[in-house]
């Protein structure tokens, strides 16, 4: 406790050196130390940004924490990429700490996903216990973050499935400058009462001995019963919220005085005196702690900064799928629709990988997905591996980060692209940044399936294409197949990729009911067929003669755009090359640029709107990379340029007509 307190004093005395934003555990040390000392190497821990005393108790040295404080290259957590007390570690003899962000409360979903993973591995007989100890998850958070809706999603899932997780809520009555009276109608203990099946405990987190005894009981409860529990610990806030938000700016004198009276350090010293410890010993201990922390701080200050050349490292982990393998069109194989190709791919993966699970809204055995994309899987693999969730897009997406940390390989589904937005916080904040901010220790291997696109009068909330939104998130890959063979090969590669992959699946191509999309039905590839992400495909190719006479052009597109382009290109046989991107990130730039340079005329076609879109961005990149070879400006066609279909007209009105803006754009380009 003296070391943790001395660290906070040292940082405050060296603000010019400690220039990055940080929080410390001052006032929270008792409950944090009582917790950290009792965790086992088999456990999983999700600390929050004020938990430096807990990290000391778990075995980290002050210098290791200071290396992150100062953003040094030897920072064992992020290699200088993250703020103070944002730990992650894979180290023998210590609990597992996957990535968690600074976003308050957001770590509760990934942490609950860790418990979900432990439960599945136990049920499947895949969990190897260390020394006979059953692992648990410890999720630490401040009381101010409990008001986040994502905490509710996580707690709902935890009690519904009775997961082995302990939520430690440290309540210091402040959320930056917002007091508890302003922010909440109840504290975490009272709130937890609404979650049937959640055990709960309220403790004095300023008293180390009481905290140790209480946490011993709580940890034993979760470890033995495999059920969730909330511990609400009242603590003091002695320091600033962060180094950038000073306590004197917003806290009245009476509040500071009240919290000073709750300081856990004098409380512990009094307990020690009652136990016979002398003042001389306490004085010597304080001096020793001061000297030790000064020494550790000096060593951290002298440590080397990160090499700027490494700034782009670890955005993604290396993927094993780098070449196309397997048979795309095996002899004697039957043709399949896209939806069945995806279904068969998932089934084959679940047969091969016992750690693979599938969950989402309505994918369980009762329905098998609203598009029947998971039909029969629940019956074949059981409710432990294929199951429904509530309407919880944030949990569906964010829990995969925790599952992956335990070794489970999840495939999850958001039912419509229009409803992915509640989950974007988890996707962008937790999942996409995990590999980078852990310096490669915790990439998130998750496959997120998202049905998209206009089809069958879906209306304004069931028809969106969302690729531009997703492509703005660094750290995820985005795949968009247009036929059954690509669906199967890309889905397999996406599953095997150690990084998060979002697979956008066009509802209008699932069954090829839209006239003109029959080519989406293909021979089913072999079970070992994979297509590396980032490789496009030439669908139709212009003749060399047309190219030589300057009478050719290319269309760069994907998804339903492939079939619009084919329908329009029928007017100019042999003059149009169509490139199906297949993967939007990573992008096959060599194929795109080589094709554009060959023809000199290019149309980028998308189902999305054009304003601020991926298609407009791609057109600009093509223009920049191929400027000298272009015979005409790159043209773009998007949703607002395409024929509108009234909701009550149905599929027949969605026929691919010859006289569309696509054909008009082709005519204009070919005239150059």
**DSSP β-ladder status, 386-388 and 356-360:** parallel
Closest to 233 (Cα-Cα) out of 137, 104, 138, 112: 138
Q: Which residue has the tokens 């509710």?
A: 152
Neighbours of 464 (CB within 10 A): 23
Neighbours of 212 (CB within 10 A): 17
Report the distance separating Cα 152 and Cα 514, nearest Å: 41
Instruction: Please say whether the beta carbons of 310 and 79 come within 8 A.
Output: yes
Alpha-carbon 558 to chain mean position:
25
CA distances to 95, 110, 118, 120, 124 from 128, rounded to whole Å, are 15, 21, 10, 12, 11
**DSSP β-ladder status, 174-175 and 165-171:** unpaired
Report the distance separating Cα 514 and Cα 652, nearest Å: 8
What is the length of the chain? 672
Report the distance separating Cα 114 and Cα 90, nearest Å: 15
Report the distance separating Cα 496 and Cα 528, nearest Å: 12
Q: Which residue has the tokens 């590839």?
A: 525
Alpha-helical (H) ranges within 497-588 are 507-510, 544-548, 561-569
Strands (DSSP E) contained in 108-242 are 137-142, 165-171, 174-175, 178-179, 199-204, 229-234
According to DSSP, residue 608 is labeled: S
Active site residue 314: no
Alpha-carbon 358 to chain mean position:
16
What tokens does 409 get?
A: 């390989």
What tokens does 37 get?
A: 């000392």
Report the distance separating Cα 564 and Cα 607, nearest Å: 10
Check 462, 506, 549, 599 and give the catalytic one.
Answer: 462
Instruction: Please say whether the beta carbons of 148 and 120 come within 8 A.
Output: no
Alpha-helical (H) ranges within 261-409 are 264-274, 279-302, 338-352, 377-381, 393-406
Neighbours of 130 (CB within 10 A): 11
By annotation, the residues acting in catalysis are 462
């Amino acid at each position: 406790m003296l070391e943790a307190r001395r660290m906070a004093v040292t940082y405050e005395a060296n603000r010019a050196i400690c220039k990055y934003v940080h929080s410390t555990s001052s006032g929270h040390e008792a409950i944090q130390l009582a917790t950290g000392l009792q965790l086992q190497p088999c456990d999983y821990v999700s600390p929050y940004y004020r938990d430096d005393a807990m990290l000391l108790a778990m075995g980290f040295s002050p210098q290791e924490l200071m290396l992150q404080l100062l953003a040094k290259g030897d920072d064992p957590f992020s290699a200088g990429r993250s703020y103070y007390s944002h730990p992650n570690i894979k180290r023998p003899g210590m609990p597992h700490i996957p990535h968690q962000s600074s976003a308050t409360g957001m770590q509760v979903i990934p942490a609950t996903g860790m418990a979900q993973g432990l439960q599945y591995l136990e049920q499947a007989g895949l969990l190897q216990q260390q020394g006979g100890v059953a692992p648990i998850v410890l999720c630490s958070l401040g009381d101010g973050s409990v008001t986040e809706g994502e905490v509710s999603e996580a707690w709902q899932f935890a009690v519904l499935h009775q997961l082995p997780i302990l939520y430690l809520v440290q309540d210091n009555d402040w959320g930056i400058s917002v007091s508890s009276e302003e922010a909440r109608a109840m504290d975490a203990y009272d709130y937890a009462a609404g979650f049937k099946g959640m055990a709960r405990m309220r403790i004095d987190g300023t008293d180390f001995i009481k905290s140790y005894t209480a946490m011993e009981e709580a940890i034993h409860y979760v470890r033995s019963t495999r059920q969730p529990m909330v511990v609400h610990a009242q603590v003091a806030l002695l320091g600033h919220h962060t180094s950038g938000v000073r306590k004197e700016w917003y806290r009245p004198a009476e509040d500071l005085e009240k919290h000073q009276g709750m300081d856990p350090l004098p409380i512990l010293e009094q307990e020690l005196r009652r136990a016979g410890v002398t003042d001389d010993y306490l004085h010597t201990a304080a001096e020793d702690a001061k000297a030790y922390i000064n020494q550790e701080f000096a060593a951290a200050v002298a440590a080397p900064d990160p090499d700027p050349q490494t700034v782009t490292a670890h955005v993604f982990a290396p993927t094993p799928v780098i070449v196309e393998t397997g048979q795309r069109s095996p002899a004697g194989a039957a043709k399949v629709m896209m939806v069945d190709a995806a279904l068969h791919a998932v089934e084959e993966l679940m047969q091969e990988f016992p750690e693979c699970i599938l969950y989402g809204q309505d994918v369980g055995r009762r329905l098998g997905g609203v598009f029947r994309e998971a039909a029969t899987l629940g019956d074949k693999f059981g409710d432990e591996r294929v199951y429904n969730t509530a309407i919880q897009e944030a949990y569906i997406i964010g829990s995969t980060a925790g599952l992956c940390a335990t070794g489970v390989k999840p495939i999850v589904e958001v039912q419509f692209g229009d409803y992915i937005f509640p989950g974007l916080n988890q996707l962008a904040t937790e999942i996409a940044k995990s590999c980078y901010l852990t310096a490669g220790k915790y990439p998130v291997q998750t496959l997120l399936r998202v049905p998209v696109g206009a089809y069958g009068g879906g209306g304004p909330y069931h028809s969106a294409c969302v690729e531009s939104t997703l492509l703005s998130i660094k750290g995820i890959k985005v795949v968009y197949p247009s036929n059954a063979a690509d669906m199967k090969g890309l889905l397999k590669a996406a599953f095997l990729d150690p990084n998060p992959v979002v697979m956008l699946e066009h509802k209008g191509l699932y069954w090829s009911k839209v006239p003109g999309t029959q080519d989406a039905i293909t021979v089913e590839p072999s079970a070992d067929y994979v297509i590396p992400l980032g490789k496009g495909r030439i669908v139709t190719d212009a003749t060399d003669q047309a190219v030589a006479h300057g009478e050719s052009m290319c269309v760069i597109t994907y998804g339903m755009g492939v079939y619009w382009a084919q329908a329009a290109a029928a007017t100019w046989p042999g003059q149009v090359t169509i490139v199906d991107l297949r993967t939007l990130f990573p992008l096959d730039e060599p194929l795109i640029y080589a094709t554009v340079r060959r023809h000199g005329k290019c149309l980028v076609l998308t189902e999305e709107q054009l304003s601020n879109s991926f298609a407009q961005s791609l057109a600009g990149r093509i223009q920049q990379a191929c400027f000298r070879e272009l015979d005409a400006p790159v043209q773009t066609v998007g949703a607002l340029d395409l024929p509108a279909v009234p909701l009550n007209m149905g599929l027949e009105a969605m026929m691919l007509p010859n006289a569309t803006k696509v054909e008009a754009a082709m005519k204009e380009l070919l005239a150059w």
